[in-house]
Structure 1
């Protein structure tokens, strides 16, 4: 097998004009026909044409034929890239290492997730809690769920005594799930399969039954039709699903698009949250040991975000951004839990708080310029210690049950594969529990955080990672990744695919844009609705910084993002087609006038607003909507759009329509392709085989359109 340390630095290939002409001739694009229809919508008196509306029908034979022809065109293009197979081999080799998750305790057993290397899905193993991990047995193997490995494990939850195990499965990547219950001792299914469950966890009430959430099955396509009324159900074991009781969300006068219910660790309370969008929500609690107990309102408005962290009897510890954009921990009592009674336990700081509990303590993870800092507190808010971490990066897992004496946490950054550490809760000491054996030498690579200035003067952090000794000659193949929305933070974390890119000489840059959660609610709000342009400006400024500082140039820069990040890439490439040579919008929200017409899209209005709101909001959305800002006569970057045929979160119609419009108007010679994965959804649950092949195609497409006829030689890329 080839050793594949190939290196970083400029992938400069001198190609003569004659050779370039031959390449363009051999790769000349003829796209499948995308018919246009006379469909027009009227918003606030303004007519807007939608000629590819027919592609929204994911059940039609016509759409199916279009998908087949587009995939054929994309495959024909990619198959001509001579080093495509070599990239796949290298990705496969670096991917092929044992990946083991941290143990978690349930009943008499310790459980953990493990992938031998190239298994399509992670397997759950277990061993006796006081036993030897080497004796672990397979508890549940999702690789047996389907022949192609495209049915994946979703949520999972044990009863308090560990005797019953409920888990959900996703088929083909859909958000619609089935819930199955196992007897943990015999590992045999008990009861019926619960069907048509969506956006839900499972939370047990004793061993009698569990709570879950779902929508009514929509009329029309289950993958694209609106799902607007979320409800909380209770399933009693031994009864049919048709008898499941609606606990919350049945009233027609108040729609909740997102409802969840969870039972406290002591089994005393049911906690219910209900919201109409992805930000802000109400919260109620109910005593479970009192028949017909009423719901008690903890938060009765949609203005803030609050959740229960812990309780001791009736005393409650809540996490909230009420009067604290960076979040704080407050205490109150169930007898009168409203906001007026809250008292600070851990006050708000200048850094964003993400707390957890373990072994009788509070643990607070703070995000300091997108990297982790952890502190340990008593429940009264007194500081025990700052936890010494293995380095600068991102941690996860400072959580355990109340009686546990140890916990496991993970540590990673962009150049360090995730390792697991065992932490003694009382003593505050860490020791390595497991480090992966991977064919990637972290010592050869480096990450550094820089701050650049956006259009309006705001300082934006970005982490740039690459091989040490990189020559800054302005021609390094570079991927700039961003998201910028929904209060989601991009924390440093190791990825096999990113490692492979850096090992092939690439630079990987992640910008922490406004709209995310890196600096709290104000940072999030600064990238929403009528301020959404800030996000695109931040991303554009990141690309300019990378070029000005000689990491790369336009030809060698690729911009990448998924979901809301797909919107980011689509808006950036239509506003600034000269910024980057390559664009990778993945599962993107690309039609900003109709996003709220599909599945649960209406719930994204906090971030986006809707075209129906008012004339100003409509004009703003239309002004940046990627689909509506593709212009005739413009040379757009080489683009490969990616989506999945089972994506029922951001429906593939966004990508279909964007591809058809871009193909019809692209003025330059750069290819415009769409790659549609079958039996795949928004991303979660993709098989290893699917992930490797998709990333292979992305890297092959990117490097080819940067001008490379072969993969780079590491020795020519690094300053000696």
Structure 2
């Protein structure tokens, strides 16, 4: 790789005082939207040109592109939703840019909505969707160019016609039909002053009802929380159609709960859980009795009931907390089906509606299960199963017979028998025991170039899930490791809190410990470890590179939160204060500044090669985070390795990226990481996982 000559990035004189600390922000001008600021657009073009020239000089790029195409070439189905005598599910073939919505009726499949036909470049995608109770209509969110905004449209299932109904400004929404099919509930913001491109912070999220056939201007406001304007309000409905359940949350892991009795035409919103002290999730109902999963008085969650006939309902426990982490549950076929994490692996348990234990369902293997579809009156449930070596598989579970069968299983161009998956445990700086999954070829002996990934925030668990992009790295002889660091939810609320607010350094320490372990155990070479993470995981990568640049040969921070002092000023960033802490509060400021990737670059240190990735239309973590971070890297003396940025056009935070651009993105990242970790990339048959397409 030639030594890059970086474009000149103007540094401006911006210094602010925060709680007695003077903080410089010389690249603040890069926060501007490239659609409005030609200087930013020119900077992106110049940076992309340098990055493309550097990547083009690397060997193996074409190999990775072709092998990624092969790894991604399989059919992927979602868990079906049954309504009447119809099944609705998503399907994506290996050649499709986006999944389509399918209806199965009378044993025949028919495409209801194909977003691949809605744009020339494959950038229109299917977002949230829901069929009406009788299966006559489907309301679906249309996503354009990776944005978080949705336009909700309605499809008539009988003839596939898209109705005139158009609901705009939906964002962070569920879709819940009224039982009679007259319309649906959804969540949206007020129309932004500057349209969808408006980067301003979001407030006024509210639940609305759209009546089928009416103009959106006639939609009925159901619930808004004026006391918490930056909170999200999400609505779902009980199976019997009686209650609308409204969840209000200011951030991860806590929410209030209200209900609306839909049999009352006044639709009075009745609070049943106030305050933001715990997590409450309704999993089913029996008349006026709600069943809920909650973290109230249970770090690893429990199942309780609330009797809405009681004027002041209080939770009554039916399934107690135990050593496993209760992650989700559903009332289907007269049983509660609950997924639990045991050392980050799923166990599926059955309970009677009164909470009496009723056995454990044998899953297809060690991995992850979830996404349950079904209702209390159904006889069976559909759900998804996956693992590091098993693609997403649709399972059909007969509840009465306690019998599980595979409903849809992808055919892969991968020999899974050649893949080895193991779980190890590392000791972090303070003695915490941290799980690490390692995936590699069975014939791998000795240290091999390794990709280490993690997340560590918002209570999100890094569970075993198949990633076809990782297969292209592994088949070349590399290894992929996933660290279940604190800040996630692998061990419940306490594990999340241990990486939250001022405790976030624990997440970084856990990740560093995992990196040291991989080298000490001879899994990764001393000079052959790359790290990759996206969004909060991009923050993770940026932070640990600053703290321990000596550990890593290459770093791939994607769509990362890199400026911890200004994250809350853009789009939905205020919602993250519930995990990061607010830079406007002195008690959080010092901690945020101590690890902010943009503010802690260490001139004079020998940094790894860095390829940061983002997209010009990301309206969740705005690309200005990455732009400022890369500008600061390039302006610092960090040794001879390159510090590059790759900016995707007409794309967002990752969801909905077209097939060919997904391949190009990972080909670039893996080729870059291979160059600096020493992974030899080539076509030899023995280096392949696939045997069906050998040259």
**Bin for the TM-score computed over the shorter chain:** over 0.9
Q: Which stretches in structure 1 are left out of the alignment for 5+ residues? A: 1-22
The farther-off stretch of 163-172 and 530-539 is 163-172
Match of 2:633 in 1: 662
After TM superposition, the score normalised by the length of structure 2 is 0.95
- The answer to whether the Cα contact below 8 Å between 2:476 and 2:687 also exists between their aligned partners in 1 is no
CA distance in 1, matches of 2:177, 2:395: 29
Q: Give the Cα–Cα distance (whole angstroms) in 2 for the partners of residues 71 and 285 of structure 1.
A: 50
- Measured after TM superposition, the shift of residue 644 of structure 1 is 1.1
Q: Relative to structure 1, is the Cα distance of residues 712 and 182 closer, same or farther in structure 2, using a 3 angstrom cutoff?
A: closer
Asked if 1 retains the 8 angstrom alpha-carbon contact of 2:336 and 2:353, the reply is yes
* Counterpart contact for 1:174–1:223, Cα < 8 Å: no
Q: Is 2:496 the counterpart of 1:519?
A: no
Residue from 292, 301, 310 that aligns with 1:318: 292
Structure 2 partner of 1:216: 190
In the alignment, is the contact (CA less than 8 A) between 1:180 and 1:189 conserved in 2? yes
The equivalent residue for 1:263 is 237
- 8 Å Cα contact 2:538/2:560 also seen in 1: yes
Distance 1:242 1:141 in 2: 28
- Give the aligned partner of residue 244 of structure 1: 219
Which residue of structure 1 lines up, in the alignment, with residue 539 of structure 2?
A: 567
Equivalent runs, 1:56-95 vs 2, <5 Å: 56-58=31-33, 59-95=36-72
Q: Secondary structure at the match of 2:199?
A: coil
Larger RCO, structure (CA 8 Å, separation 6 or more) = 1
Give the conservation status (yes or no) of the 8 Å contact 2:59–2:671: no
Residue 178 of structure 1: how far off its partner (Å):
0.5
Q: How far apart, CA to CA, are the structure 2 residues paired with 1:716 and 1:149? A: 32
Q: How does 1:29-428 map to 2 (within 5 A)?
A: 29-58=4-33, 59-128=36-105, 131-132=106-107, 135-205=108-178, 206-220=180-194, 222=197, 224-249=199-224, 251=226, 253-336=227-310, 338=312, 341-353=314-326, 354-428=328-402
* Aligned-partner Cα distance in 1 for 2:537–2:144: 25
The 5-angstrom pairing of residues 298-697 of structure 1 reads 298-336=272-310, 338=312, 341-353=314-326, 354-472=328-446, 474=447, 476-614=448-586, 616-697=587-668
CA distance in 2, matches of 1:461, 1:528: 18
Partner deviation per Cα, 1:270-292 (whole Å, 9 max, x = no partner): 11111222331211111111122
Provide the C-alpha distance between the structure 2 equivalents of 1:237 and 1:148, rounded to a whole number of angstroms. Answer: 31
Q: Secondary structure at the match of 2:635?
A: helix
The Cα shift of 1:458 comes to: 0.4
Which SS does the other structure have where 2:530 is aligned?
A: strand
Q: Any conservation in 1 of the 2:192–2:198 contact (CA below 8 Å)?
A: no
CA contact (8 A) 2:380 2:396 kept: yes
Q: Is the 8 A contact 1:257 1:600 kept in 2?
A: no
Residue 705 of structure 1 deviates from its aligned partner by: 2.0
Q: CA contact under 8 A between 1:413 and 1:492: conserved in structure 2?
A: yes
Write out per-residue CA displacement over residues 143-199 of structure 1, whole angstroms, 9 at most, x where no aligned residue. Answer: 111111111110001111111111011111000111101122121122331112111
1:648: how far off?
0.6
Which has the larger displacement, 494-503 or 285-294?
A: 285-294
Give distance in 2, aligned partners of 1:52 and 1:448: 44
Distance 1:440 1:186, change over 3 A: same
- 1:682 deviation in Å? 0.6
CA separation of 1:166 and 1:322: change in aligned 2, threshold 3 A: same
TM-aligned CA deviation for residue 55 of structure 1: 0.6
Distance change >3 Å, CA 49–CA 355, structure 1 → 2: same
Please, which moves more after superposition, 153-162 or 534-543?
A: 153-162
In the alignment, the residues of structure 2 paired with residue 666 and residue 120 of structure 1 have an alpha-carbon distance, to the nearest angstrom, of 41
Relative to structure 1, is the Cα distance of residues 274 and 389 closer, same or farther in structure 2, using a 3 angstrom cutoff?
A: same
Q: CA RMSD in A?
A: 1.8
Structure 1 equivalent of residue 692 of structure 2? none
CA contact (8 A) 1:555 1:582 kept: no
8 Å Cα contact 1:223-1:648 kept in structure 2: no
CA 1:42–1:218 in 2, change beyond 3 Å: closer, same or farther?
farther
- Aligned partner of 1:18 in structure 2 is none
Aligned length: 684
1:327-378 residue CA offsets vs partner (Å, 9 max, x unmatched): 1111121122756x22111111111112122222100111000001111111
* Cα 1:335/1:680, change in 2 over 3 Å: same
Q: TM-score if structure 1 supplies the norm length? A: 0.92
- Distance change >3 Å, CA 645–CA 223, structure 1 → 2: farther
Distance 1:537 1:109 in 2: 50
Separation of aligned partners in 1, 2:687 and 2:563: 44
Change (3 A) 1:711 1:669: farther
* Secondary structure class of the residue paired with 2:645: strand
Gaps of 5+ in 2: 690-695
Distance in 1 of aligned mates of 2:470 and 2:198 = 31
Distance 1:337 1:315, change over 3 A: farther
CA distance in 2, matches of 1:712, 1:90: 9
Q: Do the aligned residues in 1 keep the contact of 2:616 with 2:647 (CA within 8 Å)?
A: yes
Query: Is 2:63–2:681's contact at 8 Å kept on the other side of the alignment?
Result: no
Change (3 A) 1:535 1:209: same
Q: 2: distance between equivalents of 1:492 and 1:300?
A: 35
Distance verdict in 2 for CA 1:415–1:158, change over 3 Å: same
- Shift in Å, 1:534: 0.1
Q: Give the Cα separation in 2 of the matches to 1:310 and 1:338.
A: 20
Question: Shift of the alpha carbon at 1:293?
Answer: 4.4
Secondary structure of 2:153's aligned partner = strand
Q: Secondary structure at the match of 2:164?
A: coil
Report the Cα distance in structure 2 between the residues aligned to 1:705 and 1:337, rounded to whole angstroms.
Answer: 65
Q: 1:643, 1:337 → 2: CA distance?
A: 51
